[in-house]
Structure 1
Amino acid sequence: MDTPWLARQEPADRAGPAGPRAAVRLFCLPYAGGAAAAYRAWGALAPAPVQVCPVEIPGRGRRLGEPPFGRLRPLVGALADALTGHLDRPFALFGHSMGGLLAFELTRTLRRRGLRLPEHLFVSGAAPPDEPRTRPPLHAAPDAQVKAELRRLGGTPRHLLDDDELMELALPVLRADFSVLETYTCRAEPPLPVPMTVFGGTTDPLVPAASLHGWRRQAGAGARLVLLPGGHFFLHPAATEVVAAVSGTLCGQVVP
């Protein structure tokens, strides 16, 4: 069941993506410019019934040499193809920012294909998919403008932003991810029959907390909102709280 789409980052005493011990798999999708390593610590934070499976999409981490996707639907289609063989037990999807949109559209794709749906959909720091974008596009903007936005959001280490050589490597992936977001349009489909939890940061400048209620339009099985202190990348300092909330939900739903 080895696949480049799943990064093995579990502790040594826990099963990998194909292991028999976990009751539910939690597939974690990255934010723009991010990699599976963003969820490196989650395996140790989650209880034994929950198996954390960070997703590595092309253009980052171990897949740095692969061209990144610049459009959402081909990316989600390839991701659905890759994960189909790993849906043999209960699973959930978690995605932050761009990852939240990927998780949402991946669930829609699984439904259209008649495949197993997640037990729960967790979206974090992501605007509702049917809300119009109001920010100017960045995928074709000058480097200085892209860097300025990254500094404002606070998720990129300062040493990376100040290193021209590293940024030369990172910018193509960032531009591709911005293109995924900025060329996306939400097609009309029925709300998902999957329970949803929406995480947000209380001071997120990109996705205001008030806008997160819009996710309820997509949640046929209901959605709850969890606000945590912090800006757009609140999930890093609040990792313990986020994993606890996710694990508690899944253990209540899946584990008898």
Structure 2
Amino acid sequence: MSTTTAQGHATPHDDTSIIRPLRRDSAERVLVCFGFCGGGTAPYRPWASLLPDDLDLALICYPGREGRFLEGQVDSWDALAADAAALTRQVAERPYLLFGHSMGGWMAYDVATRLQDQGVRVAESVIISSCNAPYASVRERDKFPAQNDTDEQLMAWMRNFGALPDYVLEDPDLTAMALDLMRADIKVRDSFHCDDTKTLLSPLTVLLGETDEVIEDNAEVRWAEVAAAGFSARHLPGGHFYTPEVWSVLPRYFPWDAEQGGSVA
């Protein structure tokens, strides 16, 4: 399995740390996706059929879940971001795009700025979904769900927002594991901190749900402040995970042509 050295570089990965459903080794570019709080790579795998032919798909699996279960979960944002950045470096030899939903949006921003600092080629595009702009640390409105939520409240959140598959809800053991993972991710998310003066050297696209109560009113303005190479925003139907119909085809709203911007219909 993949491990991260003291310098923040991962050892050669296997199929448990970077999931590549398409295996397009000759593709010109690669889309790198980061998971949301309590989630894994599964919600992104069906998107493989929607990607352009010249694009590969790389799903970053965080420690402590799926094939990396035996590694144990990390306990801080810095550790998680260092692991994600080190894995992303391994697929950044060809042009790449970064995508993150909710907590994964902060991860996409953090990984992008870390790789910039390390002199790695910058991403063709950074795509942020359902995520408030980064401040120096986590604010109260971003602590949703919260560490002091009951198991019942967390289950309701995962059920209502569509983050928990039906087969997990029907299995008490899997449900318990999902709750443990969610609580661990909430702890890591709440330790998020960054230098919010750092700007992205990649074009930035922000997607937001029209009825998402988690997102602040000035989210677009705040994200635009960290975008040094172009910015666009789009509001989509639904809440934090949009509507099921929108979520199932979300890559259709990604700007595949970074120079022209826009999205595919």
Q: Same fold (TM over 0.5)?
A: yes
Tell me, yes or no, if structure 1 residue 120 matches structure 2 residue 125: yes
Question: What does residue 249 of structure 1 align with?
Answer: 257
* Preserved contact between residue 32 and residue 178 of structure 1 (Cα < 8 Å): yes
* Counterpart secondary structure, 2:199: coil
Tell me, yes or no, if structure 1 residue 5 matches structure 2 residue 17: yes
Tell me, yes or no, if structure 1 residue 132 matches structure 2 residue 139: yes
Tell me, yes or no, if structure 1 residue 196 matches structure 2 residue 204: yes
Q: Measure the CA separation in 1 of the matches of 2:169 and 2:139.
A: 29
Inter-CA distance 209–42: structure 2 relative to 1 (3 Å threshold)? farther
Identity level (%): 28
Question: What does residue 220 of structure 1 align with?
Answer: 228
Q: How many residue pairs align between the two structures?
A: 246
One-letter identity of the residue aligned with 2:104: G
One-letter identity of the residue aligned with 1:30: G
Question: What does residue 154 of structure 2 align with?
Answer: 146
Match 1:95 to one of 83, 86, 100: 100
Q: Measure the CA separation in 2 of the matches of 1:240 and 1:159.
A: 18
Out of 64-73 and 82-91, give the one that drifted further. Answer: 64-73
What pairs with 1:1-256 in structure 2 (closer than 5 Å)?
Answer: 2-3=13-14, 4-10=16-22, 15-16=23-24, 19-20=25-26, 22-130=27-135, 132-134=139-141, 135=143, 138-157=146-165, 160-161=168-169, 163-208=171-216, 210-234=218-242, 236-239=244-247, 241-246=249-254, 248-250=256-258
* Counterpart secondary structure, 1:93: strand
* Preserved contact between residue 237 and residue 243 of structure 2 (Cα < 8 Å): no
- Cα RMSD (Å) of the superposition? 2.5
Report deviation, 1:239.
4.1
Report deviation, 1:118.
0.6
One-letter identity of the residue aligned with 1:168: A
Question: What does residue 9 of structure 2 align with?
Answer: none
Unaligned 5+ runs, structure 1: none
Report deviation, 1:243.
1.4
Q: Measure the CA separation in 1 of the matches of 2:45 and 2:162.
A: 19
Report deviation, 1:150.
3.1
One-letter identity of the residue aligned with 1:121: V
Q: Measure the CA separation in 2 of the matches of 1:188 and 1:100.
A: 14
* Preserved contact between residue 235 and residue 242 of structure 1 (Cα < 8 Å): no
Inter-CA distance 241–210: structure 2 relative to 1 (3 Å threshold)? farther
